Structure 1
Amino acid sequence: MTLTAELYFSFRSPYSYLAIGRYRALTEMFDVDIALRSVYPLAIRQPDFFERNHPNWLGYTFRDMVRVAQFHGIPFAAPKPDPIVQDLVTRKIADDQPHIFRLTRMGQAAARRGEGLAFADEVSRLIWGGTPGWNEGEHLAAAATRAGLDLEELASEADSDVAALDEELAANQQALEDAGHWGVPTLVFGGEPFFGQDRIEMVLWRMNEQGLTER
């Protein structure tokens, strides 16, 4: 029997990027279906989060994400542009955010079609994998095509169905909190949350307990 799980994900989260390709590979190797549940990043949900953190938090996080990428052989670079407009000196989040809302809504539109995991993986590779100007030209369209989707269709839905999509995204966030966590990436399997890109082996162990089989 096919196992099912939900992956709570943010397009601004580098750790979400460092996890999603490995989770996608897991679904290709094993009989498990992982549904993407996008949420808005902390910068949107808690705009003062970065200002409240210890001064060392940001520097350590950058150092850690780079070495995680190196350890797993995952291409990694600072996004150009950042999906969130933020002053990295003051850590203040700008009021005007031209990228993250539409991008997250397109991710939810992809999830409606059952291709959220593939779309988020392909787009994250652009954002965090070193593609400058990932939001320009044909980059996003090509990523959507690789995920089996049409970007114009997703973008049109993201622009025309804002209220319903945002309601679904809010429901995703609530479901994450109901499962016992608040951050991303978190995979929920059998009602049990596994937070972080470093919990994939533990997820696999738990799935094996429930009869996970190879495809």
Structure 2
Amino acid sequence: MLTADLYFSFRSPYSYLAVGRYRQLAETSAVDIALRPVYPLAIRQPDFFERNHPNWLRYTMLDMFRVSQMEGIPFGPPRPDPIVQDVATRTIAADQPYIRRVTRLGQAAARRGRGLAFAAEAGRLIWGGAENWHEGDHLAGAAERAGLDFAELEAEVAADGEALDEEIAANQQALEDAGHWGVPTLVFDGEPFFGQDRIAMAKWRMEQKGLSKR
């Protein structure tokens, strides 16, 4: 059994566009892909988007929609955005209840070896068009579909949030130690593969290392 780590942000559309395909790879091939959630750049570097080229946002919007169309992946703007931000000023709010909750849930799921499944299910809610994905039983349903007890996850997030955040910070450091900084990045055998367009290449490398079907 081969092993790999997938560094993932619940706010990253490209992470969402990649995670389902990585989940399918892990379910059909002899590779264990461990989810390593990280907080998004909007949290770690609030001025990142202000420093980008003016064309960055327009191009990114165009590209992520066409990727979803080409791959047949449901896609729609998140409602609400996992990041609380003033649209007019682009100011990132100090309090970030949505992204902190879902990222901690993702790390709690990763502790149980079900992080990849949870990220795929929750990502589909956030980026697949579910309105008010953070309310009601949306996330509970995602957890159930991922084979997890949501009440148990919620209790762990409430009781162990600081330790979960330390693990999430360690994930970010491990990503940087592996040679990259962005998501989605799969690290296999010490080699980083950044972007949703590197999945075939990552699989090719795994096949060189003996990847087989389950």
Identify the TM-score tier after normalising by the shorter chain.
over 0.9
Give the deviation of 1:89 after TM superposition. Answer: 4.0
Q: Is the 1:7–1:37 contact (alpha carbons within 8 Å) kept by the matching residues of 2?
A: yes
RMSD, aligned α-carbons: 0.9
| 1:4 aligned partner, one-letter code | T
Provide the residue aligned with 1:151 in structure 2: 150
Any stretches of 5+ residues in structure 2 without a counterpart?
A: none
Give distance in 2, aligned partners of 1:23 and 1:169: 20
Structure-2 change in CA distance of 1:197 and 1:71 (3 Å): same
Aligned pair count? 214
Alignment of 1:89-168 (within 5 A): 89-168=88-167
> Deviation digits for residues 40-86 of structure 1, max 9, x if unmatched?
00000001111111121111111110001001000000000010012
SS at match of 1:182: coil
Give distance in 2, aligned partners of 1:50 and 1:142: 33
Provide the residue aligned with 2:211 in structure 1: 212
Structure 1 runs, 4 residues or longer, greater than 4 Å off: none
Q: Is the 1:9–1:185 contact (alpha carbons within 8 Å) kept by the matching residues of 2?
A: yes
Provide the residue aligned with 1:59 in structure 2: 58
SS at match of 2:62: helix
TM-score (normalised: structure 2):
0.98
> Deviation digits for residues 133-180 of structure 1, max 9, x if unmatched?
111111111110000001111111111112211111111000000000
Provide the residue aligned with 2:192 in structure 1: 193
Provide the residue aligned with 1:32 in structure 2: 31
Give distance in 2, aligned partners of 1:159 and 1:60: 38
SS at match of 1:92: coil
Give distance in 1, aligned partners of 2:70 and 2:43: 30
Give distance in 2, aligned partners of 1:139 and 1:41: 22
Any stretches of 5+ residues in structure 1 without a counterpart?
A: none
Give the deviation of 1:88 after TM superposition. Answer: 3.6
Provide the residue aligned with 1:6 in structure 2: 5
